[in-house]
Structure 1
Amino acid sequence: MLSNTVSREGVVQLLAPSGLQRLFSRDALTVGPGVGSVAGTGYDLRRPRIGRRRRGMVTFEKVPSDEGKELMNNGMFGSNHRPQDSIKRRKRLAYNVMQRELGLGGNGRQNNANRLMKQDLIPESVPDTIIHYSARCYSGQFSDDGNFFFSCAQDFRVRMYDTSNPYHWKYYKSVVYPYGQWTITDASLSPDNRFLAYSSIRSIVCLASTDPNNDAEPHLLDFSNIGPNQNLRGFHTIFGIWSIRFSGDGREIVAGTGDNSVYVYDIERRQSILRIPGHQDDVNAVCFGDSQSPHILYSGSDDTTLKVWDRRSMGDRREAGVFIGHTEGLTYVDSKGDGRYVLSNGKDQTAKLWDLRKMYSKEKAERWDPLAHSTRFEYRSNAFDFDDWQPHPLDCSLVTFRGHKVLKTLIRCHFSPPGSTDSRYVYSGSYDGSVYVWNMDATLKAKIDVLKATRDSRPRGSSRSDYYWEGGGSWMTCVRDASWHPNAPIIAATSWNGWGTSQGTCSVHTWNDGLEDDEAEPKVGRRVDAQLQHDERLYNSSDSSDDDLF
């Protein structure tokens, strides 16, 4: 039977290194007298210690988020139904159409009804078109006016499409990245749609004309060409570029790179005019704060931080602020364009919404090691262990979105556009083959099942298209990027897709009021090649060569 006290010899043993290790281990116990406690110390050796940080899904953020509900209710993200319109057993869409056609209410009510109708038209899983590529698709985006779409694939080609009629795409042209490494990592369209910049894991960005009659070779922009008076400490002339964005005036390109830096390149001068070695690891994502000013930059890194840079006060290379909350590296950053809200995707399997008014100052952020709460999760080869996850004690994000999988590659997230959705949602690709659409309160609004929509949409042949990279050659889908059309209820999802995800697709999903099929032509679910040509070989099981198809 245990005694209420410990002898002098016992105290000596406890003070020995092995004893101290037992005393302060997670099984050692809390302050409080009792049987088994060390006399005069209050340490109880039997009961679990109180105050240990909790782990796992029980520590996840509250859903729905109170902060997100407030954003939805105050009109910052979309419109809200008026109380008098909340009539049971009545379809809201039909009711709003009736209100509009009858001209009921003033201009304010009519405008609100129109916005409500647009934001409720969520694209669905049934695809209108599935565009097949012979290589993995890494990104694809509509232009700001919706008249243009481009997709980037691992065959170092960027394919451009005329989407001025968003329901009837036309193939435009293709451009190539010469001497690329591994894949095209990113692309960005100039504000006037005249030029497309695209990058690879090199310090060179290609700048190509979008004019279909212009067959000239792309201009090569060397981001390692540093202008005078730049900080060259730790600078390497060989680095890869993970992310690029045009400025709102089209004169500059910002890049996030593998040498832990942010670069700003002046297209007219043909040189980098600013290098910010501001992170402790790769900078996977960059963007400008808004289209009206090139002064504010955002950068997201594998060091788990999202940093804000103001170029008007960069004399000492100090960031304007830091967002802390992700526990693993960031994969993408998107700005709402209002100079206030920012969205990020992280390898901790979360997307987070941030408010510039809540960022930490550099002085406060420097008190903490950004990697102190990271496991350095290797997302390319492992599944994420939610049982071991802990919330970041300094998390300053507004809303956290969960459910998607950020694995294998730098999966992207976005704000939904104001034109077609009234900025109501955020959305992201996912390794599980879906596009997740969330309300701002972190509740799931919709899930577009690209895996189901594209499964077996090309034959299993004997060509190089059947290199089974993963999954033993089964059909797999990883949605790496998605783009919501600015004016129509359409989402284009670019994916690793096919047998073992060794090929790629761009699937076009529209709102169709829940119908699985229609009687119009062309039929939904049509399969085309990269140039939008119908090919019967995509519908049969005979062997076919990817080189012939694409």
Structure 2
Amino acid sequence: MASPGSSDNQAPSNPSTVWHPAQEWLEDDELDMDYHPAQDITEDDDDWEDHMDDESDDDGEGLEVSDAAENPHVTLGNIQIELATGDQDEQEQEGDHPRIPAARLFELLASSGLQHILQSNGWPGLAQEEDDEDDDEDDYYFSAFRNRPRTRRRTGPVEYPKVPSDEGKELMGEGHFGSDQYYVDRLKQRKKALAMNLMWRELGIDVHGVQKRADQAISQKLIPGSTADRIIHYDARSYSGQFSDDGNFFFCCAQDFRVRMYDTSNPYEWKYYKTVDYPFGRWTITDSTLSPDNRFLVYSSIRSKAYLATTDPEDDSDPTVLDFSAVPGRRRQRQGWGGPDFGIWSLRFSGDGRELVAGTDEDSVIVYDLETKQTVLNLRGRHQHHVNAVCFGDSSSPHILYSGSDDTTLRVWDRRSMGDGREAGVFMGHTEGLTYVDSKGDGRYVLSNGKDQTMKLWDLRKMMTTAKFDTIDPNIYTTDFDYRHGPYPDDYYEPHPHDCSVVTFRGHRVLKTLIRCHFSPPGSTNSRYVYSGSEDGKVYVYNLDATLAGTIDVRSATQNSRPREPDPFSAAYGMGGEMMWRTCVRDVSWHPNAPVLAASSWNGWGGSTGTCTVHSWNDGAADDEGDPPVGRNYDGKLRPIPEFNENRDNAPTIQSRRPLRSRPVRQLFVDSEPDSPEW
């Protein structure tokens, strides 16, 4: 099967194509994110079975596969698996050994359970450890089995951070993050109700400064509800979506290599703007960023090139190519720094709109100048793993950079003192890789999400010095947990001895993909909260003292919002013919001026499609008498989909009994938008 972004990507012409369990493997491409290497066919693919047979003859502990036509079985050390045909629920007993149907085995192979069974019985793995510069693509396909966690030996009970956090309560009291929610009217000895606050504002009782603070206190309590105002459907998973700084614009990236743009100047009545695409993307669009003046959008894939497109709906010109491998005064190289094969995980515009910062899978941070169209800074040799997330520290200055990596560290870079090529400081505290970082924009506070299932708030004044960090090995404190394959075990968690974070937030799930977190905006929330998507289909909103302020249940809001599609890939994924509705909220954006929130999710049957759901504050109401009704379904161009509405109104509620797994997109081509090319 060709990669999703190639021109050879077409729908299968042979309806009798046999499904293969490799199509249902977890995203082995996502060494930290979203590229699936099995979609790039190589000349070595035909040699897989021969290669495995050769390895199995070494010492009797490898993989042994007998002639499937005579006696199909697999021997894994002291485990013997025998393949049997027949109904999935059928088990024939032969002596003391049950015969398990092949479909049951393949379902186990497609999950994370087989790894733990094999490891507990002493099986070393499907492939040898890879060398530093190993070019054998076959080994790359088995990375999921190679990347096994190292279990810690805890000497005592689990010690989770205190909730509520004393440091967080202090920040709330100082006014850095909203007004004190526990303020009590000293005359009435009670909290002001929402209606009373509104009445005082209308009467103008307070002076201007106090009245302004009262208005902010009102807005910070308006957390959007779970009921979706509208559900926007895509035929591919949604990876990210953000409002512009002024709230007049929203864009959403999907795995079909398209970025849809919407006019959200009225946050309750969106209008479709335009769509741009990535012609030769790899696996998905990894990130996109909007210029401060809303005129240009830059978006990337797992390539060294990004695309710059105008947001003007009347401008249909081709996007401009931004080559992040272009090195001043040097010819383009085949491999190494500046090579054409590195991928971009994260992109951000500078506050003045003149530069871009990118995090790559070459463990580097690159700054790109839009005027000269060249890289002006490449920070390598410090991060020891992929850089999943980057951002500028101050919206008014391009000097401070943050970068979060799978080496568990958050680095602070000051471009005014880069003579030795080292960072200005380091934040340590996560025990697994970082999936996202977000700056408050004040040059002081930064937020990060980690695969250790925590979100952390950092203060620039408390960062660790480079000299001290150089004496510490961060690999000692990590298990190398692979977040793609299952939940994070409790016995993997251990407080970091060098944790310099201010507040730690727990409760959401950072699994399956690089889930994002954000500070809430100052206008609509008084900067009162931090929030994150989650693998369980919810948005978690936290107070600064680490207590939970509220949740938005995207899964319940979208359940059965589109009909099942009777195609062979959907049936194959269910393994037993049972397709479950799965939701993973990957990115969330809070409107800067209104209590409206947009969640971009993997959402649908098998989690293979995507949605962007719009949620607003409705005081807990489950329905609305307004027009159009809430919870209606729309396509990517905001055209109503009546058949989706009918399906949801008539379908029973089905509760999922299995956690969401990542898998390749089942759509081999996109035809949801007329007159658009097929990939």
Aligned partner of residue 473 in structure 1, secondary structure = coil
Aligned partner of residue 539 in structure 1, secondary structure = helix
Work out the CA distance in 1 between the residues paired with 2:490 and 2:625: 45
Work out the CA distance in 2 between the residues paired with 1:80 and 1:324: 29
**Matched residue, 2:233:** 132
Structure 1 pair 166–304 and aligned structure 2 pair: CA distance change class (3 A): same
* Contact map agreement 2:247 2:593 (CA 8 A) in 1: yes
How far is 1:514 from its partner? 1.0
Work out the CA distance in 2 between the residues paired with 1:431 and 1:125: 16
**Matched residue, 2:174:** 74
* Contact map agreement 1:54 1:390 (CA 8 A) in 2: no
Would you say 1:427 and 2:531 are equivalent positions?
yes
Work out the CA distance in 2 between the residues paired with 1:456 and 1:161: 25
**Matched residue, 2:641:** 535
Work out the CA distance in 2 between the residues paired with 1:325 and 1:214: 46
Moved more, 379-388 or 325-334: 379-388
**Matched residue, 2:144:** none
**Matched residue, 1:525:** 631
* Contact map agreement 1:351 1:400 (CA 8 A) in 2: yes
**Matched residue, 1:94:** 195
Aligned partner of residue 497 in structure 2, secondary structure = coil
| Aligned counterpart for 1:62 among listed residues 162, 168, 174 | 162
**Matched residue, 1:507:** 613
How far is 1:467 from its partner? 6.7
How far is 1:228 from its partner? 4.8
**Matched residue, 2:28:** none
* Contact map agreement 1:64 1:443 (CA 8 A) in 2: yes
**Matched residue, 1:394:** 498
One-letter amino acid of the structure 2 residue matched with residue 537 of structure 1: E
| Aligned counterpart for 1:235 among listed residues 333, 337, 343 | 337
How far is 1:217 from its partner? 1.1
**Matched residue, 1:333:** 437
How far is 1:372 from its partner? 1.1
Aligned partner of residue 435 in structure 2, secondary structure = strand
How far is 1:90 from its partner? 6.7
Q: Cα deviations across residues 258-285 of structure 1 (Å, max 9, x unaligned)?
A: 0000000011111111100130000000
Q: Cα deviations across residues 359-408 of structure 1 (Å, max 9, x unaligned)?
A: 00101011111121000001111221012311110000000000000001
How far is 1:84 from its partner? 2.0
Work out the CA distance in 2 between the residues paired with 1:219 and 1:446: 42
One-letter amino acid of the structure 1 residue matched with residue 487 of structure 2: A
- Structure 1 spans left out of the alignment, 5+ residues: 1-51
One-letter amino acid of the structure 1 residue matched with residue 583 of structure 2: T
Structure 1 pair 467–251 and aligned structure 2 pair: CA distance change class (3 A): farther
Structure 1 pair 470–430 and aligned structure 2 pair: CA distance change class (3 A): farther
Work out the CA distance in 1 between the residues paired with 2:367 and 2:643: 46
Work out the CA distance in 2 between the residues paired with 1:470 and 1:249: 49
One-letter amino acid of the structure 1 residue matched with residue 249 of structure 2: F
Work out the CA distance in 2 between the residues paired with 1:252 and 1:501: 36
Q: 1:155-304, aligned counterparts within 5 Å?
A: 155-228=256-329, 235-237=337-339, 238-277=341-380, 278-304=382-408
* Contact map agreement 1:236 1:259 (CA 8 A) in 2: no
Work out the CA distance in 1 between the residues paired with 2:568 and 2:375: 40
Structure 1 pair 274–347 and aligned structure 2 pair: CA distance change class (3 A): same
Aligned partner of residue 363 in structure 1, secondary structure = helix
How far is 1:92 from its partner? 1.7
Q: Cα deviations across residues 421-456 of structure 1 (Å, max 9, x unaligned)?
A: 010000000000000000000000000000100010
Aligned partner of residue 295 in structure 1, secondary structure = strand
Work out the CA distance in 1 between the residues paired with 2:444 and 2:192: 35
How far is 1:540 from its partner? 3.6
Moved more, 83-92 or 118-127: 83-92
Work out the CA distance in 2 between the residues paired with 1:511 and 1:207: 35
* Contact map agreement 1:467 1:502 (CA 8 A) in 2: no
- Structure 2 spans left out of the alignment, 5+ residues: 1-152, 651-666, 674-679
Work out the CA distance in 1 between the residues paired with 2:170 and 2:426: 24
How far is 1:229 from its partner? 9.4
* Contact map agreement 1:157 1:174 (CA 8 A) in 2: yes
Moved more, 120-129 or 79-88: 79-88
TM superposition score normalised by structure 1: 0.87
Q: Cα deviations across residues 50-91 of structure 1 (Å, max 9, x unaligned)?
A: xx95456x3100000000000000101001254326857776
* Contact map agreement 2:154 2:491 (CA 8 A) in 1: no
One-letter amino acid of the structure 2 residue matched with residue 213 of structure 1: E
Structure 1 pair 150–333 and aligned structure 2 pair: CA distance change class (3 A): same
Would you say 1:415 and 2:519 are equivalent positions?
yes
Instruction: Give identity over the alignment, percent.
Output: 64
* Contact map agreement 1:63 1:442 (CA 8 A) in 2: yes
Structure 1 pair 109–505 and aligned structure 2 pair: CA distance change class (3 A): same
* Contact map agreement 1:469 1:502 (CA 8 A) in 2: no
One-letter amino acid of the structure 2 residue matched with residue 83 of structure 1: V
Aligned residues: 496
Moved more, 458-467 or 407-416: 458-467
Would you say 1:320 and 2:424 are equivalent positions?
yes
Would you say 1:374 and 2:478 are equivalent positions?
yes
Work out the CA distance in 2 between the residues paired with 1:449 and 1:487: 22
* Contact map agreement 2:326 2:338 (CA 8 A) in 1: no
How far is 1:539 from its partner? 2.3
* Contact map agreement 2:238 2:255 (CA 8 A) in 1: yes
Work out the CA distance in 2 between the residues paired with 1:505 and 1:234: 38
* Contact map agreement 1:134 1:465 (CA 8 A) in 2: no
Would you say 1:385 and 2:498 are equivalent positions?
no
Aligned partner of residue 513 in structure 1, secondary structure = coil
Work out the CA distance in 1 between the residues paired with 2:400 and 2:571: 44
**Matched residue, 1:110:** 211
* Contact map agreement 1:140 1:149 (CA 8 A) in 2: yes
Work out the CA distance in 2 between the residues paired with 1:141 and 1:470: 32
Work out the CA distance in 1 between the residues paired with 2:385 and 2:572: 32
Structure 1 pair 467–223 and aligned structure 2 pair: CA distance change class (3 A): farther
* Contact map agreement 1:139 1:151 (CA 8 A) in 2: yes
Work out the CA distance in 1 between the residues paired with 2:255 and 2:180: 42
How far is 1:221 from its partner? 0.6
One-letter amino acid of the structure 2 residue matched with residue 506 of structure 1: C
One-letter amino acid of the structure 2 residue matched with residue 258 of structure 1: D
